[in-house]
Amino acid sequence: MRRIYLSWTGKNNIMLLTILWDFPNHIPIAGFELRYYSLMFIISFVLGQYGMQYVFKRENVNPKLMDSLIYWMVGATIVGARLGHVIFYDWSYYKDHLEEILMVWKGGLASHGAAIAIVAAMFYWSKKLAKKHPLWTLDRIVIVVALAAGFIRMGNWFNSEIYGAPANSTFETVFVEHGRNTLMRGYGGTLKSVSFEATDEFVRTDSITYPILNTTLSFVRLNDVQTQQYASDFLPRILNTQDPDNQNLLVQGIPEVTVYEDENGWHAQTQVVGVPRYPTQLFEAAGYWLFFIILVLLYLKTTVGEKRGFLFGFFLVLVFGFRFFIENFKEVQVDFEQGMQFNMGQWLSIPLVAIGLLFMALSKRNKSSL
């Protein structure tokens, strides 16, 4: 059974909340797996539609335009995010596997690509369908985009991906899913399941305090001697196959193993070391939802909405300025980022922040309530 464990520990007179994140990434429904990431996408677009319906009603815009707006937004988000990942992050792979570019369900989306595609799509929708100035649309659509971005990052949280670098911090998180997948692949068909449980034990170093996790490996088609060997000999070897930059579970030396049998087969109990990380998905989600509130207040309570392009520019500055900052706490996403002063996410954020500042400056001369 998978659980979420919370534990407090003290280090340097600071209390740290350690989250053992061992949560399934999907909901089983009638033989179908609804992934939380997909659910977060659905929620974000539904809430975004309600938000734009309010804007349309408030500004007396033809409600029949709503369907086409949603279609263009959804399409631009998916296509742009996918192409952004392919082009900016993994072209060395996809140039030899072009057919996999369409396999969105395998993962690989980039928010910078989505941002570029949304701007292009809203320009076309505004000019050809809505007959409005593109900046009127962008000034309003970015409000719901900020809300949606928070839900997308929560989807990353459920997927145990795009996490932070190893560190001790309040809300530090141990993501065990990648370690579990490594073990399941490494042991092949002999490992039925693996479970983790938090303890009050830690391995302390000068830089990081690592929590120790009780671990149970449940095997099939093995006897007691084989179970002992598989756990004590193979466990370190398999975990050592993890990418050094994405290790979430470690083993110190030869693990001590206790073997027992029940009606479900043979099991091995041992301990592994969890790697605590910054939960940057939660940091980003909280930031984007804060930006959503700020943009809503500016739109409803001030006159900046009359300055064509201000909210759009402010959104770019807020979101991608924050993105540039938060990338400092993230783990490296792709190999070519090793040794770079700024990672790809930061390099892509710089021009978007500059564009945002430009639109904010120009908005002072473009007052309009179109």
Quote the CA–CA distance of 289 and 153 in Å, as a whole number: 11
Q: What is the mean pLDDT of residues 351-370?
A: 81
Residue of 274, 249, 268 lying closest to 191 (CA atoms)? 268
Question: By mean pLDDT, which of 179-183, 312-316, 321-325 is the weakest?
Answer: 179-183
Is residue 155's pLDDT more than 90? Answer: yes
Enclosing H/E stretch for 196: strand 191-204
What is the CATH number that goes with domain 176-274? 3.30.2000
Quote the CA–CA distance of 2 and 285 in Å, as a whole number: 24
Is residue 161's pLDDT more than 90? Answer: no
pTM of the model: 0.88
What are the residue ranges of CATH 3.30.2000 in the chain?
176-274
Is residue 370's pLDDT more than 50? Answer: no
Reported as a pLDDT band with limits 50, 70 and 90, residue 3 is low
Q: What percentage of the chain carries pLDDT values higher than 70?
A: 93
The more confident residue out of 106 and 329 is 329
* Inter-residue long-range contacts of 105-108, CB under 8 Å, 24+ positions, other chains counted: 107/161, 108/82
At residue 172, the pLDDT reads 87
Find where tokens 């900020």 sit: 146
Q: What is the mean pLDDT of residues 213-221?
A: 93
Q: What is the mean pLDDT of residues 119-133?
A: 95
